[in-house]
Amino acid sequence: MLMKLAPKKRRNPRNFYLGIAAVVLIAGIGRYFALKAEQEKVTQQALLV
């Protein structure tokens, strides 16, 4: 609703790229920790067997 009332201004490309960089960074960190946890799970199972 508010977006429709606001005057259209040109989007700052720097903010756009910063947003993309932030998303990529967060996704990368999440993936890294997921892989690390998976690796630890595998080593734990290997130790138990």
Tens of pLDDT, residue by residue over 17-48, are 999 999 999 999 999 999 999 999 999 999 88
Listed residue (17, 48, 3) closest to 40, CA to CA: 48
Percent of the chain that is helix, strand, coil (3-state, to 5): 80, 0, 20
From CA 25, how far away is CA 20, in angstroms rounded?
A: 8
- Residue 24: closest CA among 32, 14, 35, 13: 32
Residue 3 has pLDDT above 80, yes or no: no
- Three-state DSSP at 7 gives coil
Does pTM surpass 0.85? no
